[in-house]
């Protein structure tokens, strides 16, 4: 499920159902519907690309972003959802292209209560990866997220290379990359500067490698927070090597 919001147009929400591949016992018919649907969705404000229920054959997916995607500035437009761009239940995903995910978080930071109150309304994360496996994210920038920039949940064998994450030093809770309940994840050659952790490792994270990351400003590279919820899963095999931390509160 990918949502695309285009600034400056007052058009109704369009839902596009995709039939990616039709297969039979005699022959296969292949339809290049994904690219066409994405282009059509980009022309409509608040659009959504939907893959209908059923089983379809799909090879490796490449999301190539060369320009800048801009999120709505108004938090209310997200209707309480905790993610702006969400990639979920995908095996073999590549996100690349040198483009920018601009979260337009300036207005949202003023409404952030999570830095003062633990029981708070979570603001939208720029990019969420939920249940993503055997995938790669490289040469992209996440800018001015309303909350965390990149969040991993239940991911496996996910690689981050040459990722840039940036937000002002006074932007609350703008963690760069948060890794939760994920394994065999590598983060290399990243440049991260926010008001919070450059990289934070949550419960259930196992076999995580961070290498050649430039961090600062921010809080540093951390394990936690842990111990707040019951039944949290163990954290193990966290390796950080050749990192450069500058103007950070902690190591």
Q: How many CB atoms within 10 Å of residue 179? A: 28
Query: Is 142:128 a contact under the CB 8 Å cutoff?
Result: no
Determine which one of 144, 196, 197, 203 is catalytic. Answer: 196
CA-to-CA separations, 175 to 14, 150, 162, 223, in angstroms, rounded:
32, 8, 17, 12
CA-to-CA separations, 127 to 8, 95, 234, in angstroms, rounded:
22, 11, 25
Between CA 143 and CA 128 the distance in angstroms is 14
| Active site annotation includes 149 | no
| CA dihedral of 208, 211, 216, 218, whole degrees rounded to 10 | 10
Q: Which residues pair with 96 in a beta bridge?
A: 64
Q: Is 136 in a helix, a strand, or coil?
A: strand
Between CA 209 and CA 239 the distance in angstroms is 5
| Active site annotation includes 144 | no
Query: DSSP character for 96?
Result: E
β-pair type (21-23, 28-30)? antiparallel
Q: Which residues are catalytic?
A: 196, 219
């Amino acid at each position: 499920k990918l949502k695309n919001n285009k600034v400056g147009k007052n058009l109704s929400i369009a839902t596009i159902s995709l039939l990616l591949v039709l297969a039979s016992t005699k022959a296969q018919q292949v339809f290049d519907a994904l690219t066409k649907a994405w282009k059509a969705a980009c022309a409509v404000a608040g659009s959504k690309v939907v893959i209908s229920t059923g089983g379809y054959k799909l090879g490796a997916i490449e999301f190539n972003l060369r320009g800048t995607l801009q999120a709505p500035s108004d938090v209310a437009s997200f209707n309480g959802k905790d993610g702006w761009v969400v990639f979920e239940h995908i095996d073999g995903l590549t996100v690349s292209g040198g483009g920018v995910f601009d979260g337009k978080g300036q207005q949202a930071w003023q409404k952030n209560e999570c830095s003062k109150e633990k029981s708070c309304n979570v603001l939208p994360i720029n990019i969420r990866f939920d249940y993503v496996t055997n995938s790669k994210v490289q040469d992209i920038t996440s800018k001015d997220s309303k909350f965390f920039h990149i969040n991993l949940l239940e991911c496996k064998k996910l690689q981050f290379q040459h990722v840039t994450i940036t937000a002002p030093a006074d932007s609350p809770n703008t963690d760069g990359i948060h890794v939760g309940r994920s394994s065999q994840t590598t983060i290399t050659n990243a440049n991260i500067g926010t008001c919070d952790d450059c990289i934070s490792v949550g419960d259930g994270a196992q076999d995580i490698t961070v290498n050649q990351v430039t961090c600062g400003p921010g809080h540093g590279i951390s394990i936690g927070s842990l111990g707040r919820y019951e039944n949290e899963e163990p954290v193990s095999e966290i390796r950080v090597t050749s990192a450069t931390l500058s103007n950070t509160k902690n190591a």
